[in-house]
Amino acid sequence: MSTAIAKRPAKDSYFDLVRRFPLRPIRSELELDRAMEVLRKLVMSKPEEKMDVGERDYIEALGVLAQRFEQGRRNSALPKLTPLDRLKFLREQRGMIVNDLGRVIGSQPTASLILHGKRSMSKRQIVKLAKYFAISPALFID
C-alpha cells in the first residue's frame, strides 16, 4: 500500500489578508478610506505578476466592494435632480462638452437640443447614457 503525499498548494495569502482587513460591505466614508489605503498598499507592494492568486482575488473583491459603495453614493445624490439636471451634472463632473455627449448618444445636434430642454431623451439614448456613466437608466426617467 503506497501512500501518496498531497502536494501543498503554493502560498495563497487570501485568508491572511482577510484576517487583517475583512471583506465586508463598505458603509461609510471612513471605511472607504481604509479600504482604499489597503488597496493602495497591496497594489504598490509588487507587480501583479508576482502576486499569488490570493492577493489578486483579495484586491479584486475589495475593489468591487469599494466600487459598490461609490456607486450607491453617486446614485443617492442624483435622485434629487430632474433627469436633465442629472445629465448636466454628470456631464460637468466628467468635463464633457456637447460634442463629447453627442458621441455618447450618437448625435451632437441632438445632444445640444437635449441639453437646452428642447428635446427629451429617447429610450435608446437613456440606455447609452446609463451605460456610459455607469448608473441606472431609471435616473434619466421622470
Same domain for 109 and 136? yes
Look at phi and psi of residue 117 and say left if phi exceeds 0, alpha if psi is from -120 to 50, else beta.
left
Per-residue pLDDT band at 101 (split at 50, 70, 90)? very high
pLDDT for 83-92, tens place per residue?
Answer: 999 999 999 9
**Residues 73, 85 within the same domain:** no
Q: Cα separation of 113 and 124, whole Å?
A: 16
Strands, E assignment, 5-114: none
pLDDT of 8: 46
C-alpha span between 116 and 129 (Å, rounded):
17
More confident residue, 24 or 7: 24
CATH number at residue 107: 1.10.260.40
71 shares a domain with 21: yes
- Domain of residue 67: give its range: 14-77
Element (H, E) at 16: helix 14-20
Q: What is the mean pLDDT of residues 6-13?
A: 61
